[in-house]
Homo-oligomer: A and B are copies of this chain.
Amino acid sequence: MRAGFLGLGAMGYPMAANLRRAGLLAAVWNRGRDTAARFADEHGVTVADDPAALARECDLLVTCVSADVDVLAVVEALLPGLRRDAVVVDCSTVASDTARQAADKVAAAGGAFLDAPVSGGTEGAAAGTLSMMVGGDESAFAKARPALDAMGGRVVHMGPVGSGQATKAVNQVMAAGINQAVGEALAFAEALELPLERVIEVVGSGAAGNWFVNHRGPTMVRGEYTGFGFKLALHHKDLEICRHMADNNGGSLPLADRTRADYERLMAEGHGDEDISALYRLKRMLFD
């Protein structure tokens, strides 16, 4: 397998590095050339001139970008060079509809498409332990499997194209609620003047234990929200998608809605680029 990677952001960069370590990565492309050059330098792969050039030399293409419009644009840009039987794996978090549109474009050019959004933070991306929720044909999934396993610790096929993104939407709703739960509980602990590092250690190991309190609790209680993690404005965007999906299914997501409203307040105050744990700025005020 010769894989190409497009989109060397906070998640994509370490994911591509894991593909390289597994001996699968041939070349990369990135909108910002400097980052691509740095990656090529560090990992000994070539930089393609454009997405189509990358597609010409690879039979697996992994994309990891930020927004729905970027996914469609990068897939469009791949098409002129796409080999027949190539598989395009998109690890971005976007709407299921976007995944289906991208899949149609790729299918029309003779390739197969998988939506494979991930969860596990920048830590999971670096360690190669990401959860990957994959939608698409069984045969394309089987073909891409070695690459998926190089980037993920738990790789699960969810169903047809779009079902990976639907699962990621469920993940983002759960993450929003957990952010609320952890923030409320730690604000309470702070008001009770408990030793917060120990609270995190012991509560994080019991029936209330969760990834978020273990990985973000220590920074939250120190008031550190930048230079790591998952941008609040991006989670907000995801929760907008979730709201539309819930609407379309005649339901509601009260806890995700609450979180979305809280994020909007934080974004208005200039905190949109901070990690989602910056929600704690508001939760702390419960005990002001």
Contacts and interface: CB of A to CB of B under 8 A. Distances in A.
A1 interface: no
A270 interface: no
A158 interface: yes
A155 to B, nearest CB: 8
A119 interface: yes
Contacts of A118: 206
A207 B170 contact: no
Interface stretch (A13-21, A53-61, A75-83, A180-188): A180-188
A205 B120 contact: yes
B202 A167 contact: yes
A130 B133 CA distance: 31
A184 B177 contact: yes
Nearest to A211: B209
Contacts of A227: none
Interface stretch (A31-39, A40-48, A192-200): A192-200
Contacts of A254: 184, 286
B252 A286 contact: yes
Contact of A202 (B132, B186, B199): B132
Contacts of A158: 194-195, 198-199, 202
Contacts of A189: 166-167, 170
A116 to B, nearest CB: 11
B181 A177 contact: yes
B253 A201 contact: no
A10 interface: no
A162 to B, nearest CB: 10
Nearest to A131: B206
A206 B130 contact: yes
Contact of A191 (B119, B201, B211, B249): B249
A119 B207 contact: yes
A121 interface: yes
Contacts of A287: 246, 249-251
Nearest to A229: B207
A163 interface: yes
Contact of A177 (B180, B195, B251): B180
A167 B206 CA distance: 12
A150 interface: no
A209 B210 contact: yes
A240 to B, nearest CB: 14
B249 A201 contact: no
A145 to B, nearest CB: 15
Given A154-B206, A188-B242, A246-B287, 19 more contacts: A118-B206, A119-B207, A131-B206, A131-B207, A156-B202, A158-B194, A158-B199, A166-B189, A170-B186, A174-B203, A177-B178, A177-B180, A177-B185, A180-B181, A184-B253, A188-B245, A249-B287, A251-B286, A254-B286
